[in-house]
Amino acid sequence: MIHQSMTSNLSFYISSVSHLSSPLPSLSRLSLRCCSSLPSHDMETKPSQGLYPLHRCKTIHLVRHAQGIHNVEGEKNHKAYLSEDLFDAHLTPLGWQQVDNLHKHVKASGISNSIELVVVSPLLRTLQTAVGTFGGEGYKDGVNTPLLMTAGAGNSDRPAISSLNCPPFIVVESCREHLGVHPCDRRSNITKYRELFPAIDFSLIETDVDVLWKPDIREEDQDIAARGVKFFNWLSTRKEKEIAVVTHSGFLYQTLNSFGNDCDPSVKNEISKKFVNCELRSFVLVDKCMSSSNPPMTNYP
């Protein structure tokens, strides 16, 4: 759990639960508290509503990647996570079916029309999930737009995916899974990813090779939680008001457990419960520390 002194000005709220190059700001500017209104003397003292200016709020759609080959093998035998055969694990055929179902959901619900940015962890399984869920239709001859994914990328039998009529995709290291020890959580070189996913922006990745993953040191839970809070603070500085994030179960569980500590226990549980493969949940991210420079667009003096 993150120490309270690190968490002063960022709040995180559930909006809904749905279907199965700037530097990152300092952690000292954050808050994970669910801010509640002050009750009157004749009301019960318990977490209640919070009221914030609209331009300091963002809608964040969090997605865990679909089933990867490491999920299948790890469920059979946890020691399989140590296998080099699972390096930078790709999606299974079932995983791609999950992606197809989620793609249909975001289309039918209208989410895909409102998302302004897709942020992705730089692992093959998250990249595949992101482009399959929020990408365009299959490539068509004569349509001159960059490909989000080339045909057959990442040991798949999938056709190419177009970037036509899609939001921008950007890759960020700080929303990766636990770092170290497990080869499935070690990424490939960025030069390889750029060939497979031409329309995705990798400009925020500082090194071609994976220098963050260590073969003998597994990232501690409190460290991934701190990294996750820093990532959400970075999201609050973005100009986009509705953002999708495609990431990992460990990252989501450890980060979200840092939020909602003075909410009703049922709300805390709704925020922090574990994600299943290809699950999407929608949240509201509230900036309480003036990180966002977005002016109010609907206010009238």
Active site residues: 65, 177
Residue 79's contacts (CB-CB under 8 Å, 6 or more residues apart) are none
Report the first-to-last Cα separation within the chain, whole angstroms.
42
d(CA 269, CA 271): 5
In sequence order, the 6+-apart residues with CB closer than 8 A to the CB of 122 are 171, 172, 173, 176, 187, 190, 193, 202, 205
Phi, psi of 17 (to 5 degrees): -115, 125
Residue in the structure block whose two tokens are 């636990």: 178
Q: Is residue 164 within 8 Å of 137, Cβ to Cβ? A: yes
For the four alpha carbons of 189, 150, 60 and 296, in that order, the dihedral sign comes to: positive
DSSP states along 61-98: EEEE---BHHHHHHHH-GGGGG-GGGTTPPBPHHHHHH
| 3 state DSSP class of 252 | helix
